[in-house]
Structure 1
């Protein structure tokens, strides 16, 4: 009888774990654009943009049209995130029309991006109630809950020189169904940017990081010490580097990496 009781308790214990830690699917779209999908929630990050630079990947117009019109599975998107306003991450018309056609979607972005959105999208007033700006001070964070999804907005300096580095750039730490997904946008990955966030203590399951910020031993050490992700998804890979990128990442010594190259490839995070 005692053994039977232990068996029942064990079944209940693992059932509870399963409830709070469901499988998450991450679908690569283009550049740093991904779709995160759980059993109950779908989140787009940096996915709605048009051709800005010839050397970077972009979704075909046919797919962008489906997203813009919120057709097929895109009609069930709950949250749309943009890390900053640059044209290889955000397009105000694509996002605006998606929100017009998907009445349930919420948009979150830095205030600079939202202001650009407001100025450039003529029907902004029709969706303004579902547009949420968040720009913490540099190296600070803000916790936001949208549709029962916990999102920590992390303010990072944008990589590069002027004018690129002036952009209000954020990362997102998303807690969903017992998993933590970190998307850093175009953040400069260095100790100064990372040290205040203590991401190494967040138990990050997946970190989506830009390829051009991974290419040195020093960067690897910083990422392993200050982010400590279980898995790295390598994004923002220039088209001309698609073939060699795998060897480059391997030569530096990264483990548990997945390169975001093949459009619509879906990875399950268990």
Structure 2
């Protein structure tokens, strides 16, 4: 069994497996957002039956924007897997962990999850309750900054405290923008880099996929994976 496995649902949604622990991140969302993809009824059925999404230990949402979160689908998942811990920065369920402080931490079955409040990209979203996380299992660290403002000083301060990570799972502007690439090299310094929050081909009206492919061709050699297709799976080791 590989140490870390990531399987895409849609957009910035994924199932992350670290050792034997399963974490969903922004996995279920249905409302269409221009230029991005959502979890269709057919994809939702496939997700619910897919072994990579089975029996989650932790269901985490970075924030509750409609391209990241569906209350209805999450409720259905929690009814199917009632022992999963739901972690959100807004009160949406009677039984959940509410993220409200600048830093919070959760330990679960050998997993350490550190949550940090980060500014959402875009000044218009300055008041959005938004959190990234650092997952650690058996010494393997996975950084998921969510929709954090690219090259955020808040994230830089956090990384200066915790040090480099093994895997970073980031939105695509972190590689298409020069300031994002610099930040990755100077502060995140991941051994493995995974890129998502990209639309499926049929929804790519703004050419985001093409821009990412063009950027990847110009980057130095390294372990970089781009998530493009529903239920795409990538595995990572030390």
Query: TM-score normalised by the shorter chain: which range applies?
Result: 0.7 to 0.9
Is 2:46 the partner of 1:97? no
Question: Per-residue deviation at 1:95?
Answer: 0.9
Q: Given the two structures, how large is their TM-score scaled by the length of structure 2? A: 0.86
Structure 1 unmatched ranges of 5 or more: 1-20, 118-123
Question: Per-residue deviation at 1:72?
Answer: 5.3
In the alignment, what sits opposite 2:11?
A: 31
User: SS at the partner of 1:242?
Assistant: helix
In the alignment, what sits opposite 1:218?
A: 179
Where in structure 2 are the equivalents of 1:101-250 lying within 5 Å?
101-110=80-89, 113=90, 115=91, 117=92, 124-125=93-94, 128=95, 131-137=96-102, 141-162=103-124, 164-198=125-159, 201-238=162-199, 239=204, 240-250=207-217
| RMSD over equivalenced CA pairs, Å | 2.3
Alignment deviations for residues 41-77 of structure 1 (CA, whole Å, 9 cap, x no partner): 211101111133131122331231355xx54534411
| Residues 201 and 103 (structure 1), Cα distance of their counterparts in 2 relative to 1, 3 Å cut | closer
Inter-partner Cα distance in structure 2 for 1:201 and 1:104 = 30
Structure 2 unmatched ranges of 5 or more: none
Asked if the contact 2:175–2:215 (Cα under 8 Å) also holds between the matched residues in 1, the reply is: no
In the alignment, what sits opposite 1:52?
A: 32
In the alignment, what sits opposite 1:121?
A: none
Inter-partner Cα distance in structure 1 for 2:235 and 2:46 = 24
Out of 221, 235, 238, the position equivalent to 1:268 is 235
Q: Given the two structures, how large is their TM-score scaled by the length of structure 1? A: 0.77
Alignment deviations for residues 21-55 of structure 1 (CA, whole Å, 9 cap, x no partner): 95221112211111112442211101111133131
Judge which range, 145-154 or 79-88, deviates more: 145-154
Inter-partner Cα distance in structure 1 for 2:216 and 2:154 = 22
In the alignment, what sits opposite 1:7?
A: none
Alignment deviations for residues 75-106 of structure 1 (CA, whole Å, 9 cap, x no partner): 41111110001011111111112111212111
User: SS at the partner of 2:34?
Assistant: coil
Q: Greater helix percent: which structure?
A: 1
Inter-partner Cα distance in structure 2 for 1:218 and 1:39 = 33
User: SS at the partner of 2:158?
Assistant: coil
Inter-partner Cα distance in structure 2 for 1:157 and 1:223 = 17
| Residues 38 and 143 (structure 1), Cα distance of their counterparts in 2 relative to 1, 3 Å cut | closer
Inter-partner Cα distance in structure 1 for 2:152 and 2:128 = 20
Report which of the two structures shows the higher radius of gyration computed on alpha carbons. Answer: 1
| Residues 146 and 267 (structure 1), Cα distance of their counterparts in 2 relative to 1, 3 Å cut | same
Asked if the contact 1:200–1:229 (Cα under 8 Å) also holds between the matched residues in 2, the reply is: no
Inter-partner Cα distance in structure 1 for 2:177 and 2:215 = 10
Asked if the contact 2:119–2:152 (Cα under 8 Å) also holds between the matched residues in 1, the reply is: no
